């Protein structure tokens, strides 16, 4: 277990049932102070011990990037990349938007969709007119991304591009002089990273911490990265507005970048049980401990016996964002040989996350173009039809019960899509079932979707 998980899990042991109940009666700021009081020594010991242990091995870069297999990621050609826009049809290579300059939500969504909302469904997208198969309906850059896989070690810490090694096993990789733990594809990417997240993450050797953790912990560190991309002054200055944006769920007329406002508009899953409340606060305090070491705060109290004002502010914002990232994260895929999709980073795309619902019978296909998320019509989508994305579980591949359990456990909702309502079950292993009349159409749509996905991938990555 790495130092971060250890700090969180061992601190849980310091709470009995009585203190858990006391905790749940407090408000946000009081909870942080209460938990901090009990765990500060334990966390301090764990992190100090860890940093003492890596002093010796610092500046040793693991040499596991030399795997020649890693050189086989496919790249988008520049011409393909520049034509990717909402309204562009990947299958026919034509641009179909009537008014290509006037897309909604800053060119992220096609002008053929509109966002509607209802109490039961929240926000969702509906086709305003027929959307032909292969057409891009949404394309968004991530508000934040973080590695969730060892495979990403050969990738640019800024743009996420894979940087191939040449025959001498050296490469265009530009390494960080200070930590020697991350690399960039260009001096532009290096400057970008050093002026934002890496300024702080380098000081605390964050990649050394992460290398000792399970890679999936990177999803949680999306929240950490939201803070390191900016600085403490930014979050303190906008603190009350961010809280207001989160409470109302709407962006306001504030001097805050749109992507940050959208992050705080996203809806998280409810954290209600005392044990969940405790874990949320422990993670926030472990983040604070790391940020403190990164010199993120200007007002740390000398003896560190209590949290400073800015530490509490960042802690409260963490407890807002952690439940949000849990249910709003998308993976970024890199395309390897045979068009195999390998998930490398977790990312948040706030516009797409807040406007598309899951269906176990989706009509969209999802692909990654560099770090951008691209959603493509998997078949002709009729006027008035809802556009739907899928979180892993298709009805033709999993039984209804499996799907419902997976979605409840990981995304905290009860699926009421058409496939779940009608109890469509896995028929991949039993094609005879496709003969049942009701399944014929959806089965054909499933096959058509798989086909579209393959062609889209080959058009994007095998065109050269
Ligand atoms: Zn780069
Ligand atoms: Zn560094
Ligand atoms: Zn479903």
Q: Are residues 370 and 226 in the same domain?
A: no
Pair 216, 2: CB distance under 8 Å: no
Q: Which ligand is located closest to the Cα atom of residue 199?
A: 2
Per-residue pLDDT tens over the stretch 142-198: 999 999 998 888 889 999 888 877 666 566 789 999 988 899 999 999 999 999 999
Rounded to an integer, the average pLDDT of 13-41 is 95
Do 181 and 89 share a domain, yes or no? no
How many other C-beta atoms can be found within 10 angstroms of the C-beta atom of residue 430?
9
pLDDT at 247: 95
> Are residue 13 and residue 112 in the same domain, yes or no?
no
Q: How far is the CA of 414 from the centre of ligand 3 (A)?
A: 8
Please state at what angle helix 274-293 crosses helix 28-55, rounded to 10 degrees. Answer: 50
Most confidently modeled range among 11-20, 47-56, 165-174: 11-20
Please indicate, yes or no, whether residues 169 and 247 belong to a single structural domain of this protein: yes
Same domain, yes or no: 24 and 163? yes
The answer to whether residues 197 and 227 belong to one domain is: yes
Q: How far is the CA of 157 from the centre of ligand 1 (A)?
A: 7
Protein residues within 5 Å, CB atom, of ion ligand 2:
176, 178-179, 202
Question: What is the torsional sign of CA 110, 326, 412, 391?
Answer: positive
* pTM (global) more than 0.75: yes
- Choice between 66 and 57, residue whose per-residue pLDDT is larger: 57
Does residue 340 lie within any of the structural domains?
no
Residues 303, 376, single domain; the answer is no
Q: How many A from CA of 344 to the centre of ligand 1?
A: 15
9-23, 126-140, 287-301, 377-391: least confidently modelled range = 287-301
The pLDDT confidence band at residue 57, using thresholds 50, 70 and 90, is low
Nearest alpha-carbon partner for 32 in 334, 288, 209, 292? 288
Question: Does any domain span residue 12?
Answer: yes
Ligand minimally distant from the alpha carbon of residue 189: 1
pLDDT computed for residue 410 by the predictor? 87
Q: Are 117 and 195 in the same domain?
A: no
Counting ligands in written order, the one closest to the CA of 174 is 1
Q: Specify the number of domains making up the chain.
A: 2
Q: Does residue 179 sit in the same domain as residue 264?
A: yes
Proximal ligand: closest to the CA of 418: 3
Question: Are residues 40 and 168 both part of a single domain?
Answer: yes
Domain boundary among 297, 328, 359: 328
Token pair in block for residue 66: 């030399």
Distances in whole angstroms, Cα of residue 376 to Cα of each of 41, 72, 94: 51, 25, 14
- Residue 235 has which token pair? 């979050």
The yes-or-no verdict on residue 433 having pLDDT over 80 is no
The answer on 323 and 354 residing in a single domain is no
Q: Residue 379: which domain range?
A: 78-141+349-461
CA 238–ligand 1 middle distance (angstroms): 30
229 in the same domain as 175: yes
């Amino acid at each position: 277990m790495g130092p971060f998980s250890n700090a969180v899990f061992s601190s849980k042991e310091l709470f009995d049932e009585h203190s858990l109940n006391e905790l749940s009666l407090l408000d946000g700021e009081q909870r942080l102070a209460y938990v901090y009081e009990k765990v500060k020594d334990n966390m301090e010991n764990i992190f100090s011990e860890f940093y003492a242990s890596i002093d010796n091995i610092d500046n040793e870069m693991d040499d596991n990037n030399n795997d020649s297999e890693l050189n086989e990621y496919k790249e988008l050609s520049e011409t393909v990349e520049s034509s990717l826009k909402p309204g562009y049809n990947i299958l026919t290579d034509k641009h179909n938007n009537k008014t290509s300059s006037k897309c909604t939500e800053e060119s992220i969504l096609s002008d053929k969709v509109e966002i509607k909302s209802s109490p039961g469904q929240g926000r969702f997208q509906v086709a305003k007119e027929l959307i032909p198969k292969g057409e891009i309906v949404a394309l968004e850059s991530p508000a934040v991304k973080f590695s969730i896989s060892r495979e990403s070690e050969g990738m640019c810490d800024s743009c996420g591009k894979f940087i191939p090694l040449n025959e001498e096993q050296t490469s265009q990789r530009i390494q960080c002089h200070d930590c020697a733990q991350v690399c960039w594809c260009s001096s532009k990417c290096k400057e970008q990273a050093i002026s934002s997240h890496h300024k702080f993450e380098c000081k605390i050797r964050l990649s050394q911490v992460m290398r000792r953790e399970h890679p999936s912990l990177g999803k949680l560190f999306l929240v950490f990265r939201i803070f390191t991309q900016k600085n403490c002054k930014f979050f303190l200055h906008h603190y009350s507005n961010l809280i207001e944006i989160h409470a109302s769920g709407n962006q306001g007329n504030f001097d805050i970048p749109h992507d940050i406002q959208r992050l705080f508009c996203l809806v998280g899953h409810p954290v209600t049980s005392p044990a969940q409340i405790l874990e949320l606060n422990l993670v926030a305090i472990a983040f604070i401990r790391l940020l403190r070491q990164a010199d993120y705060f200007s007002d740390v109290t000398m003896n560190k016996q209590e949290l400073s004002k800015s530490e509490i502010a960042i802690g409260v914002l963490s407890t807002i964002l952690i439940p949000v990232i849990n249910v709003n994260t998308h993976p970024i895929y890199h395309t390897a040989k045979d068009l195999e999709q390998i998930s490398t980073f977790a990312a948040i795309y706030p516009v797409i996350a807040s406007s598309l619902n899951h269906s176990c019978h989706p009509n969209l296909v999802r692909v990654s173009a560099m770090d951008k998320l691209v959603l493509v019509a998997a078949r002709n989508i009729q006027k008035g039809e809802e556009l739907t994305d899928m979180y892993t579980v298709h009805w033709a591949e999993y039984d209804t019960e499996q799907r419902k359990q997976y979605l409840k456990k990981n995304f905290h909702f009860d699926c009421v899509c058409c496939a779940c309502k009608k109890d469509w079950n896995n028929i991949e292993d039993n094609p005879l079932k496709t003969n049942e009349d009701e399944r014929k159409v959806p089965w054909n749509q499933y096959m058509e979707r798989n086909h579209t996905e393959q062609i889209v991938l080959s058009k994007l990555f095998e065109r050269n």
